[in-house]
Amino acid sequence: MTIKGAIGSMLRYFYRMETVRLRPKEHQRLLGGHQWVFRNEISQTPQAELGEIVRVVSHSDRFLGIGFYHPTSRIAVRIISDIEERIDVEFFAKRIQRALELRHRLLPQAEAYRLVFGEADMLSGLIVDRFDNTLVMQMHSAGMDVRINEIVDALRHVIPDVTGIVERNTMGTRVQEGLPHRDGVVWGSVPDRITFLEGPANLEIDVLGGQKTGYFLDQRINREWIGKHVSGKRVLDAFCNVGGFSLHAGHGGAAHVVGIDSSATAIAAATHHATINNLSQVQFRKANMFDALREYAANEEQWDVIILDPPSFAKSRQSLGGARAGYAELNRSALKLIPSGGLLVSASCTQLFAEHDLLDVVYEESARLRRTLRLVHRGNQAPDHPVLLAMPETQYLKFLVFEVW
Ligand code: SAH
């Protein structure tokens, strides 16, 4: 045994983890690779503190993994490893290295990508986006939150080129975890605007003031698709944020593009993007999208391509009915504006609203309007947002393209 190994086993001997025992039969999902233990699945509650590492065992004492404990959250344990190991800088560095290798392999040219996608990178509750040499972190769990310093050290170790690390910990979900809102530079320095290329599009992102982590990286591949298929067309980019789809449409030769968003900051950034990309045919407008669609209908305006990329309409099952109604209204209003031969592009990032739900809604609304649609393309989240098969929760983005007969 090496000296390091001997010290490790001594530490393990003195450091006894608390054990969480599950109720009978509750271990199956975890054996399949799911990473969440719900409170009602536990038979024996440990004397563990917020974010402490615990061992999880089945009712009959089969070892299932170690994870972060939360004494009050609905998710009582978030599994972090299926072996007993120390959760330290070295552990995070190994996981982050593995995450980085996947991005290098699948998106070798990307200057911005999601480096860590939580559970799908075996780092439950941690999100890290990379924009050039700035990293933006979000901690959705207490276990990650209390280890912020180790995570920062690991990120710097794995990516020595990093010049600044930011946290954007202002998500509503943090309240359920009993975590405070925190926002700002954690390490190094961060420019007001970070510039990077996404395909042909020049972007300048404000990671401290923009929405979420600053840019919606999950639509990367879908934006490429749009860039290839709208040459010469009039394109309406609904819910455009800082203009991602619009810029790709413009670079792809669209005749005229209008992007609409209700956020004034997003529209200011989008307008700046049109300027620095030399795309005078791309324009932006601040408006409520539901009103704008009604206004276009009243004026009998037509669009060859309408992209609908609304924010999530439901965070819980209780609000799914409202979400369905929202998607129905949007898709119906958009369809009324698209001539024969045009494209309806309908995206949804509501995780609880599956692809077949969206297909159903679009079909119902098209049938009501007596319009025939053909599904010509289906996309999803970019590969830097991998889907862990054991956790359907990691699959959320739908991107459907319909041709109007
Ligand atoms: N298509 C964007 C991402 C859209 S995110 C991209 O490719 O980057 C959803 C956007 O919808 C946000 O920018 C938000 O400001 C905007 N939004 C939310 N409600 C809206 C409404 N009622 N009308 C217009 N925009 C809205």
Cα angle value 342/343/345 (rounded, 5°)? 160
pTM for the model: 0.94
CATH number of 89-194: 3.30.750.80
Largest CA distance in the chain: 79
Instruction: Copy the structure tokens of residue 365.
Output: 């609304």
Query: Is the confidence at residue 10, as pLDDT, over 60?
Result: no
Mutate to test the pocket of ligand 1, among 204, 239, 295 (most ligand atoms within 8 A of CB): 239
At the fourth CATH level, the homologous superfamily of domain 3-81 is: PUA domain (2.30.130.10)
Residues 220, 110: contact at Cβ < 8 Å?
yes
Averaged pLDDT score across all residues of the chain: 95
Residue among 192, 184, 196, 188 at smallest CA distance from 161: 188
**Residue nearest ligand 1's atom 15 by CA:** 263
CATH class, 216-404 region: alpha beta
Distance between CA atoms of residues 392 and 32, nearest Å:
12
Residue among 342, 282, 287, 289 at smallest CA distance from 311: 289
Residue 241 in contact with ligand 1 by CB distance below 6 A: yes
Catalytic residues, by residue number, are 349
Could you give the C-alpha distances from 160 to 94, 95, 135, 137, in angstroms and in order?
15, 16, 12, 17
**What's the pLDDT score for residue 11?**
55
Tens of pLDDT along 349-383? 999 999 999 999 999 999 999 999 999 999 999 99
Distance between CA atoms of residues 63 and 68, nearest Å:
15
Residues 394, 387: contact at Cβ < 8 Å?
yes
Band (213; pLDDT cuts 50, 70, 90):
confident
Instruction: Kindly state the percentage of the chain with pLDDT values over 90.
Output: 92
3-state DSSP assignment of residue 27: coil
Tens of pLDDT along 175-211? 888 899 999 999 999 999 999 999 999 999 999 988 8
Distance between CA atoms of residues 130 and 136, nearest Å:
6
Indicate which atom in ligand 1 lies nearest the CA of residue 347. 1
**What's the pLDDT score for residue 402?**
98
Query: Is the confidence at residue 320, as pLDDT, over 50?
Result: yes
Tens of pLDDT along 377-400? 999 999 999 999 999 999 999 999
Band (137; pLDDT cuts 50, 70, 90):
very high
Residue among 46, 125, 43, 45 at smallest CA distance from 79: 125
- Is 216-404 the same fold as 3-81? no
Q: Give distance in angstroms: CA of 216 to centre of ligand 1.
A: 10
**What's the pLDDT score for residue 9?**
52
Q: Where are the domains of the chain?
A: 3-81, 89-194, 216-404
Mutate to test the pocket of ligand 1, among 220, 261, 309, 312 (most ligand atoms within 8 A of CB): 261
**What's the pLDDT score for residue 14?**
45
Instruction: Kindly state the percentage of the chain with pLDDT values over 70.
Output: 96
| Sole residue written with tokens 């601040």 | 286
Residue among 183, 191, 121 at smallest CA distance from 158: 121
* DSSP for residue 242: T
**What's the pLDDT score for residue 3?**
67
Query: Is the confidence at residue 141, as pLDDT, over 60?
Result: yes
Indicate which atom in ligand 1 lies nearest the CA of residue 289. 23
Instruction: Copy the structure tokens of residue 401.
Output: 């393209």
Distance between CA atoms of residues 66 and 372, nearest Å:
52
Indicate which atom in ligand 1 lies nearest the CA of residue 266. 13
Q: Which residues contact 276 (CB under 8 A, 6 or more apart)?
A: 202, 204
Query: Is the confidence at residue 261, as pLDDT, over 60?
Result: yes
Query: Is the confidence at residue 13, as pLDDT, over 50?
Result: no
